[in-house]
Structure 1
């Protein structure tokens, strides 16, 4: 029973580390994006549009969103629940195969 509690504890630790990693990613994204936007908007020439100031933050923001969805289990095909379900599925198939042998 203690082994099961230890496994659950280790899973909780991994989950908290993933969340902490996401918040670090988000903080770096916000700070660097603000810096980029401020610097780029100060140097807009006549031929440039405002889009150039938001180019990097926009695409990096897509990555941050995907990271958030993955960490908070909103992407079922990439999240922890998917892995757990697949493991159970394979174990059940193996148990059924062993029953009939």
Structure 2
């Protein structure tokens, strides 16, 4: 029975990972479609002041961070860090229950 649980858990994790990557590509697509519009509007309405850089840089940083997280390349808060933190909270919870008993 343990094998089925492990297999189900692996499937769930793989499904979750695919969903994260898909959401990143959607985010990237919206970024690539919207920013040319922002650039055109900026150049047509106020060519003396180029404010589209704020959108490109600000949103671009968000896209890069999203990509790092989706592809598990984020130097901080990696899966190993998450597992350590989860275990830490579980151990802390067990310790506090023993104090009450």
2:35 aligns with 33
Query: TM-score, normalised on structure 2?
Result: 0.74
Q: Tell me what 1:79 maps to.
A: 78
Structure 2 distance, partners of 1:5, 1:76, is 28
Residue matched to 1:24: 26
> Which residue in the other structure is 1:53 paired with?
52
Q: Which residue of 2 aligns with 1:99?
A: none
Question: What's the RMSD between the two structures over aligned residues?
Answer: 2.2
Query: Which residue is 1:98 aligned to?
Result: none
Q: State the number of aligned residues.
A: 91
Query: Mean alpha-carbon deviation: is it higher for 34-43 or for 70-79?
Result: 70-79
Q: In the aligned structure 1, how far is the partner of 2:33 from the partner of 2:78? A: 27
Query: Cα–Cα, structure 1 residues 33 and 2, in superposed 2: closer, same or farther, change >3 Å?
Result: same
- The 1:76–1:84 alpha-carbon spacing in structure 2 relative to 1, beyond 3 Å, is farther
Alpha-carbon displacement from aligned partner over 1:44-92 (angstroms, at most 9, x marks no partner): 34xx333x12221210111111111111111132232321344467779
Q: Output the CA distance in 2 between the equivalents of 1:62 and 1:35.
A: 19
Q: SS of the residue aligned with 2:75?
A: coil
The aligned counterpart of 1:64 is 63
